[in-house]
Structure 1
Amino acid sequence: MEHQASEELVISSDKSLLDLELIHTVLASAYWCTGIPREVVERAIQGSLCFGVFKGGAQIGFARVITDEATFAYLADVFIVEAEQRKGYGKALIAHVTEALGRLGLRRTLLATADAHGLYRQFGFTQLEKPDRFMEINVKDIYRQGKAGTS
């Protein structure tokens, strides 16, 4: 699935186009997965629906969706490289992702964010309606402790 957001911006779910070095570099310094090993990033991509954002042929953004493609999805690892932020590319990416997920007829799509609530609200995301129903196992600093599973 490919979307031409403008003459210069292309959003594609073709994993063969992804720049794994760029994705790992950005994610390894991101607040939500600091220090993530490259092999974990590669394994996560293999098991997910992924969207690359390309400008002039170079990758500038990414989003990963963990989904059964029937009832549930979790949106993760969303970024636009710093030099290309505040140009509408993040909005184009989330519009594309939510449109693709909308076609699946999912019951629930979740995400977690520390600082982009305003962006996601524009596309229908809200606070959890019943947060008391959700639980988690959260291994803090898993990548800094060297406990991440590798295959």
Structure 2
Amino acid sequence: MDHQASEELVISSDKSRLDRALIHSVLASTYWSKGIPRDVVERAIEGSLCFGVYKAGAQIGFARVITDQATFAYLADVFIVEAEQRKGYGKALMAHVTETLGRLGLRRTLLATADAHGLYRQFGFAPLEKPDRFMEINLKDIYQQGKTGTS
């Protein structure tokens, strides 16, 4: 489904439009998924609700949501390519993502981030109210160790 965010910007959840090479290239260089293999990105896309951001037909941004579409969602892999940052495109993407998730009536949506807290706060995100209730398994070097599994 396409959403005309502005005269020049389209946000789409149509996975066939995604520039998977671009997505992999950006994600493989980020602090949160450095070195991620292409096949892992492909599997992540297939198992998620994805949003591509397009300007003049070219993809400039992405967000991925892992969700049961009933009670819970986890927002991940949000980016706008560097050359297009600070132009309001991240806000447009987050507005569309949160509007879409809002229609699902989810109880909780989480994200983990080391930056852009100000952006996410504008869309209702806040630090965990009770972080002691959350636990994680965090295999920080999984991509460097080559232990990425198969489908």
For Structure 1 versus Structure 2, the TM-score category normalised by the shorter chain is over 0.9
- For 1:20 and 1:50, locate their aligned partners in 2 and report how far apart those are by CA, in whole Å: 11
Following TM superposition, by how much is the alpha carbon of 1:141 offset from its aligned partner in structure 2, in angstroms? 1.4
Opposite residue 101 of structure 1, the aligned amino acid is: L
Tell me which residue corresponds to 2:9: 9
- For 2:44 and 2:9, locate their aligned partners in 1 and report how far apart those are by CA, in whole Å: 25
Q: Does 1:89 align with 2:89?
A: yes
Tell me which residue corresponds to 1:26: 26
- For 2:149 and 2:31, locate their aligned partners in 1 and report how far apart those are by CA, in whole Å: 20
Q: TM-score, normalised by structure 2?
A: 0.98
SS of residue in 1 equivalent to 2:32: coil
Tell me which residue corresponds to 2:58: 58
Opposite residue 122 of structure 2, the aligned amino acid is: Q
Tell me which residue corresponds to 1:38: 38
- For 1:137 and 1:9, locate their aligned partners in 2 and report how far apart those are by CA, in whole Å: 37
Matched length:
151
Tell me which residue corresponds to 1:80: 80
Tell me which residue corresponds to 1:119: 119
- For 1:148 and 1:121, locate their aligned partners in 2 and report how far apart those are by CA, in whole Å: 32
Could you list the per-position Cα deviations for residues 80-128 of structure 1 after superposition, in whole angstroms to 9, with x for gaps in the alignment?
0000000000000000000000000000000000011100000000000
Q: CA RMSD in A?
A: 0.6
Following TM superposition, by how much is the alpha carbon of 1:146 offset from its aligned partner in structure 2, in angstroms? 1.1
Opposite residue 68 of structure 2, the aligned amino acid is: D
- For 2:99 and 2:2, locate their aligned partners in 1 and report how far apart those are by CA, in whole Å: 12
SS of residue in 2 equivalent to 1:144: helix
Q: Percent identity?
A: 87
Opposite residue 26 of structure 2, the aligned amino acid is: V
Following TM superposition, by how much is the alpha carbon of 1:150 offset from its aligned partner in structure 2, in angstroms? 2.4
- For 2:55 and 2:126, locate their aligned partners in 1 and report how far apart those are by CA, in whole Å: 30
Opposite residue 88 of structure 1, the aligned amino acid is: G
What are structure 2's unaligned runs of at least 5 residues? none
SS of residue in 2 equivalent to 1:6: coil
- For 2:22 and 2:119, locate their aligned partners in 1 and report how far apart those are by CA, in whole Å: 23
Following TM superposition, by how much is the alpha carbon of 1:66 offset from its aligned partner in structure 2, in angstroms? 0.1
- For 1:56 and 1:13, locate their aligned partners in 2 and report how far apart those are by CA, in whole Å: 17
Q: TM-score, normalised by structure 1?
A: 0.98
Opposite residue 121 of structure 1, the aligned amino acid is: R
Could you list the per-position Cα deviations for residues 9-36 of structure 1 after superposition, in whole angstroms to 9, with x for gaps in the alignment?
0000000000000000000001000000
Opposite residue 84 of structure 1, the aligned amino acid is: E
Following TM superposition, by how much is the alpha carbon of 1:2 offset from its aligned partner in structure 2, in angstroms? 1.8
